[in-house]
């Protein structure tokens, strides 16, 4: 079991000093200088880093194992938000918690007993999240909402960075925020996929308080600091 002191979403207020939380996705970073890309984001004031884990089975792509998470953990104090796009999350949650994850989100479509996976994530000292593919109805998350700290709305089909934002998914954000308000629960509502300055306001107005951003933060057009500032200034 992990001995790391976790700074998870369970202790993070819904709104930070800068308002909503930006969570740069390292999937879009330059892997030859991951540590630098991570500390650039931290210097720009982000509190969360989003780590996409893909097994080539749940999604067609492969990305990041626990060894990589462990190697970048000492670089930064930001909250490590691990998004598991893998078929059998129960087999791997302990490895990611031991590697330094603070938070672990699992897909409702993945195999096994999802409720038991959430319990295991909590036992390991992490906060837990539940997410869904764009084609999955938001109601499928409701049975799990009372026991998670975060619900993630995918605004692209999981598997690849750099895709276009699906506005059709915004009503799910509103539904999850309404559920949280109706139940008096401090639920973090995160969005992931195609988020950039031109659509950040749409998801924030719908109730999202954590915005994952890959290619709009890590790209060749502007520095990490400028991209973070542009997202923060988005209205
Ligand atoms: C997609 C991943 C995303 C991805 C987002 O499967 O879950 O986190 O990195 O990248 P952008 O922001 O480029 O769509
Ligand atoms: Zn993701």
pLDDT digits (tens, 9 = 90+) for 156-187: 999 999 999 999 999 999 999 999 999 999 99
Q: What is the pLDDT of residue 5?
A: 41
Quick count: other Cβ atoms within 10 Å of Cβ 159? 17
52 is an active site residue: yes
Distance CA 155, CA 101 (A): 23
User: pTM for this one?
Assistant: 0.97
**Is residue 28 lining ligand 1, measured as CB closer than 6 Å?**
yes
Angle CA 203–100–159, to nearest 5: 45
Distance CA 176, CA 167 (A): 16
192 is an active site residue: yes
- Look-up: residue for tokens 């999604």? 59
| Spans of all domains in the chain | 9-233
Q: Which CATH architecture has domain 9-233?
A: Alpha-Beta Barrel (3.20)
Helix (H) or strand (E) holding 172: helix 170-183
Q: Which ligand 1 atom is the nearest neighbour of the CA of 163?
A: 14
Q: What is the pLDDT of residue 7?
A: 85
162: left (phi over 0), alpha (psi -120 to 50) or beta: left
**Is residue 93 lining ligand 1, measured as CB closer than 6 Å?**
no
Stretches where the chain sits below pLDDT 70 are 1-6
**Cα 86 to ligand 2 centre (Å):** 12
Instruction: Specify burial of residue 221 (Cβ count, 10 A radius: 0-12, 13-18, 19+).
Output: exposed
């Amino acid at each position: 079991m992990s001995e790391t002191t976790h700074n998870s979403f369970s202790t993070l207020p819904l709104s930070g000093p800068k308002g909503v939380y930006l969570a740069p996705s390292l999937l879009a970073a330059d892997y030859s200088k991951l540590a630098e890309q991570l500390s650039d984001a931290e210097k720009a004031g982000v509190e969360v880093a989003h780590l996409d884990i893909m097994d080539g089975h749940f999604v067609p792509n492969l990305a990041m194992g626990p060894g990589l998470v462990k190697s970048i953990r000492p670089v930064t104090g930001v909250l490590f938000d691990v998004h598991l796009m893998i078929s059998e999350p129960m087999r791997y949650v302990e490895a990611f918690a031991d590697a330094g994850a603070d938070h672990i989100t699992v897909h409702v479509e993945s195999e096994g007993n999802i409720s038991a996976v959430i319990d295991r994530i909590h036992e390991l000292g992490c906060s837990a999240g539940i997410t869904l593919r764009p084609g999955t109805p938001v109601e499928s998350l409701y049975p799990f909402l009372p026991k998670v700290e975060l619900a993630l709305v995918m605004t692209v089909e999981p598997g690849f960075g750099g895709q276009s934002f699906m506005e059709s998914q915004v009503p799910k954000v509103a539904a999850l925020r309404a559920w949280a308000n109706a139940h008096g629960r401090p639920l973090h509502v995160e969005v992931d996929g195609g988020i950039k300055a031109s659509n950040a306001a749409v998801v924030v107005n719908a109730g999202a308080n954590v915005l994952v951003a890959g290619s709009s933060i890590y790209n060749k057009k502007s520095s990490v600091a400028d991209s973070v500032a542009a997202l923060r200034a988005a209205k």
